[in-house]
Amino acid sequence: MYIHKINHLNAVMLLISIQVLFPLILSAQSGKAVNPIIFADVPDASIIRVEDTYYMSSTTMHMSPGVPVMKSMDLVNWEIIGYAYNSLVDNAAMNLSNGQNAYGRGSWASCLRYYEGRYYLSTFAQTSGKTHVFTTDDIESGQWEEVSFAPSYHDHTLHFEDDGRIYMIWGAGEIRIVELKPDFSGIIPETEQVLISNASQPAGDNIMLQAEGSQLFKINGFYYLFNIVWPLDGMRTVLVHRSESLHGPYEGRVALADRGIAQGGLIDTPAGDWFAYLFRDFGAVGRIPYLVPVTWEDNWPVLGEDGKVPESLPLPASAGLIPNLVSSDEFERKETDGYSLPLVWQWNHNPIEESWSLTERKGYLRLRSERLDQSFLDTRNTLTQRTFGPQSQVVTKLDVSGLKQGDVAGLALLQKEFGYIGVKNNGQQKSIVMVLGKDQNEEVQAEIPLESGEVFLKASCDFENRKDQALFYYSLDGVDWEKFGQTLEMKYTLPHFMGYRYGLFFYAEKELGGYADFDFFRIDRGL
C-alpha cells in the first residue's frame, strides 16, 4: 500500500511525506526513531525519568477515566499503564445532564513529578473550579490518592524545593508563584507573588497567545521555566526563562520557532543525553508529540539542529501505537481475568456503569441507555479510542436485534463536527444510516433498509498531509464493502479541543429497554 502511494508522489511530496507522514516506515528502514514520536493526540505532556524508566502524563479533558499515565523504556515506545482518576467530578457537566457538557474542558494540562520515593500528578479543571493533586507510591499498580483545592491554577507546574517546600507556578503572560501546604490541601496565605511580569516579552510585543504552559526544572543550580507563546505574525514558539534563584530575577529567550512545535519541557537519559518533549497542532488527528535534541551552551538549553526539529533521532525505532496506545478488542473475557476494559478505552464523559456490560452476552460489548437522548453528542456511554495517522481504520460488527423504536447504535468519529454510520429502528423498519452532524444538529446523508439482524461497519481516517477526511462503509458479510454516505471533512475545533476519536455508541430516543451488541472492535493502520 505505502509503496504504491509513494510511486505516485512527486519528489517534493515524497520529501514531505518522509519527513512527517511515514514515521513507522522510516523507523524500520533506519533503525532510529523519527518525528513525530506519536502520530496521535497526546498533548500537554509532562515527562519524568525514575532511574531507567520514563513516565508521561497527558491531557484527555472530558474523557473518563482521565489524565492517562504512560510508561516507556526509550522515550519512543509508550504504553498506557493507568489514569489519575476514574471520574474527575460528579456534576451535570461531566454527566452530560441538564443540558450541560464538559466538551473541551474537564481536566487540562497536568504536571507529573517524583520526589523522595513518591509520585505526584497535578491538574486543573474549569469543570470543577479546582486544582487537583494525585499522589501514589506505586505509579504502575498503586492507587492514586486525591486532594483538591480552589482556585483552578491554569497550566501550572509543581516544584519541590531542596528544603522540602512545595511551590506551584502558573499563569498566562504574567507568571505567578505560590507556596502550597505540605498536605496539598491549599495554598499558604500571603505567599503568592509575581514571578515574571511579562513572560511573553522575549517573543516581542505583538502577541496573540500570551506565555503559558509553564514547566519548571532545576538543573545544575539553575531554574529553567519553559513556556509557549504565539506571536501574532509568527507561530507557536518555545520560550525559556532562567534564574539562579527560584524567585528570580529571570532572564528569557526564544528557544525554538519551527513549524509550531512547542509547549513541553526537558528530559534526560541515563546516558546523559537531553531532549525537549514538545507537541505540534496537526489538524484533525490532534496535537502530536515530538522530541527535540538539546545541547547546552553557557548553561542555556539549545533546542534542535540549527534551530530546526530533526527528522530522525538517536533513539530506538518506533514499534507502532498498536496495542499499547490503541488496540483491537474482541470483547472476549475469561472470568479469571475479570470483565474490565483495557486501558486504551475511555468513555465520553462519565459513564453510567449500569448501561454497559461484557457479561450479559459473552464475547460482546452490550450498550444500553438509562435515559432518552436526541443526538449523538448528548449521549453517555460512548466508548472511544484515539484515531491515529497517517491513516487508520476501524471495523466493528453490530447485532441490532435488541434495538427498540427510536434506538440508534453504531460507529462514530467524535468531535464537534462528527460523523457516524449505524442502524436506527424507525418502528416498522431498521435502517442503515450515515449521519453528519455539528453540535446537536444531525443530518442523515444516506439511508437504506436493513433486513438482517447484523451488520458490519467501518470508518477510515486519512490524515496524510492533513487531508483530514473520513469515509464510512457497511457490509452484510464482512467481505464485500459498500462506501456509504458522504465524506466527513474532519476539523479540529476548540470547543472540543481534542483530536477525533473512534467511538461505539447507543442511545434511545423514544423508549427505554433496548440495547446494542458489538461483537468486536478491530483497529488497524492504513486504509
Q: For residue 322, is it within any domain?
A: no
| Sole residue written with cell 528557544 | 255
User: Are 150 and 257 in a shared domain?
Assistant: yes
* Residue 305 and residue 342 share a domain: no
Q: Does the residue 398 lie in any domain?
A: yes
For the chain, the domain total comes to 2
CB atoms within 10 A of CB 66: 25
Is residue 361 domain-shared with residue 404, that is, in the same domain? yes
Stretch 404-430: mean pLDDT: 97
End residue of a domain, out of 263, 289, 316: 316
Residue 8, pLDDT score: 38
Query: Position of cell 502558573?
Result: 170
Concatenated DSSP letters for 497-518? TS--EEEEEEEESS-SS-EEEE
Mean pLDDT of 476-495: 97
Residue 494, domain CATH: 2.60.120.200
Q: Confirm if 160 and 169 have CB atoms less than 8 A apart.
A: no
Confidence of residue 338 (pLDDT cuts 50, 70, 90): confident
Residue 324 falls within a domain, yes or no?
Answer: no
Question: What's the confidence (pLDDT) of residue 439?
Answer: 87
| Shared domain check, 121 and 35 | yes
d(CA 264, CA 246): 19
Mean pLDDT of the chain: 94
| pLDDT at residue 357 tops 60 | yes
Query: 277 with 348, same domain?
Result: no
Cα 501 to chain center, whole Å?
A: 9
Cα distance from N-terminal residue to C-terminal residue, the chain: 9
Inside any domain, residue 401: yes
- Domain for residue 479, yes or no? yes
Nearest to 445 by CA among 497, 485, 494: 485
- The span from the CA of 314 to the CA of 311, in Å, is 11
Asked if residue 349 and residue 247 are part of one domain, the reply reads: no
Q: Are residues 49 and 138 in the same domain?
A: yes
Q: Distance between CA atoms of 40 and 179, rounded to whole angstroms?
A: 36
Residues 215 and 78 in one domain: yes
Assigned domain for 425 exists: yes
Here the CATH number for the domain that contains residue 240 is 2.115.10.20
Same domain, yes or no: 233 and 369: no
CB distance 224 to 231 below 8 Å: no
Residues 211 and 355 in one domain: no
- Asked if residue 72 and residue 166 are part of one domain, the reply reads yes
Separation between Cα atoms, residue 202 and residue 174, nearest integer Å: 13
Closest CA to 503 of 421, 389, 430, 400: 421
Where a domain ends, among 316, 343, 375?
A: 316
Tens-place pLDDT, residues 322-334 = 999 999 999 999 8
Domain containing 196 equals: 31-316
Tell me which amino acid residue 524 is: D
Rounded to an integer, the average pLDDT of 392-416 is 98
Within a domain: residue 25?
A: no
Q: How far apart are CA 263 and CA 271, in angstroms?
A: 24
In this structure, are 307 and 401 located in the same domain?
no
Q: Is residue 43 part of a domain?
A: yes
Share of the chain above pLDDT 70, in %: 94
Give the end of a domain, one of 264, 283, 316. 316
Place of cell 436485534: 401
Cα distance between residue 495 and residue 420, in whole Å: 19
User: Does pLDDT of 319 surpass 60?
Assistant: yes
The three-state secondary structure class of 223 is strand
> For 114-135, what is each residue's pLDDT tens digit?
999 999 999 999 999 999 999 9
